[in-house]
Structure 1
Amino acid sequence: MARIRIKKNDLVQVISGRTQAKGGDRGKTGRVIAVYPETNRVLVEGINRVTKHTKAGDNQGVNTGGIQVVEAPIHVSNVAVVDPETKKPTRIRARVDSVERDGRTKQQRTRVSVRSGKDL
């Protein structure tokens, strides 16, 4: 299982799939709502929206059924974090800094944008 570098509340852009002209989501951006590391998927706000049919009585006491439009998870390889400086998709790396507290040296990991070198 690969380590997922995308975290909740990151601004991501869809980098693969059908273009927006053909009804897809490529090029759209959105915030990450949830991360599912066991399946390598992320849930992005406004991306990969699907229609869900619900039966009446299945909604915690509400007896109305119908069609709902909800976001579905998308694979983590199909999205990239948006660089805060250039507003373009970028890869992420980790910078390890040595921090000294109470006379002890501790290593601290910081997420860094590959494109601009700025902290995320």
Structure 2
Amino acid sequence: MANIKKGDLVQVITGATQARGGDRGKQGKVLSVNNETNRVVVEGVNYVTKHVRQGQTQRGTKTGGIETVEAAIHISNVALVDPESKKPTRVGHRNEEVVKDGVKKTVRVRYAKKSGKDL
């Protein structure tokens, strides 16, 4: 079971600080997860400039130019944010019994671990 999924709120825990122009400490929503390369795209983090080739639509308008888009960062450089304290936390899994349509089923569920320290 993956620790970080699409739609989760995460915080960047490595890299240059925001005072130095980096992204450490920024929080954002996960837009996509690539399990093969262990990379995530986080909203508002790791902006890069992308040059897009000029093209034409059927109406004749020009497309392309220089765009800024979010690039992927490694999954180890982000931490899941605890929904209660809004601080980065570690993730645990536990088995819970769920009753659906009268059938009892054991499901593995993620939860934010409580800790005294900040990451």
Establish whether TM, by shorter chain, passes 0.5.
yes
Q: After the TM superposition, which residues 1-120 of structure 1 pair with which residues of structure 2 at under 5 Å, given as runs?
A: 4-57=2-55, 63-100=62-99, 105-115=104-114
What code does the residue aligned with 1:97 have? Answer: E
> Displacement, 1:97?
1.4
Instruction: Provide the C-alpha distance between the structure 1 equivalents of 2:99 and 2:114, rounded to a whole number of angstroms.
Output: 29
> Displacement, 1:68?
0.2
Identity within the alignment, %: 58
Contact 2:57–2:63 (CA under 8 A) maintained in structure 1: no
Gaps of 5+ in 2: none
What code does the residue aligned with 1:87 have? Answer: K
Q: Deviations over 1:12-44 (max 9, x none)?
A: 000000110111000000000001001000010
Gaps of 5+ in 1: none
Contact 2:47–2:69 (CA under 8 A) maintained in structure 1: yes
TM-score, with structure 2 as normaliser: 0.84
How many matched pairs? 113
Q: Which runs of 4+ in 1 moved over 3 A?
A: 59-62, 99-105
Instruction: Provide the C-alpha distance between the structure 1 equivalents of 2:62 and 2:2, rounded to a whole number of angstroms.
Output: 39
**Superposition RMSD in Å:** 2.0
Q: Deviations over 1:54-110 (max 9, x none)?
A: 1111x7665333110000001000000110111100011111013355775421111
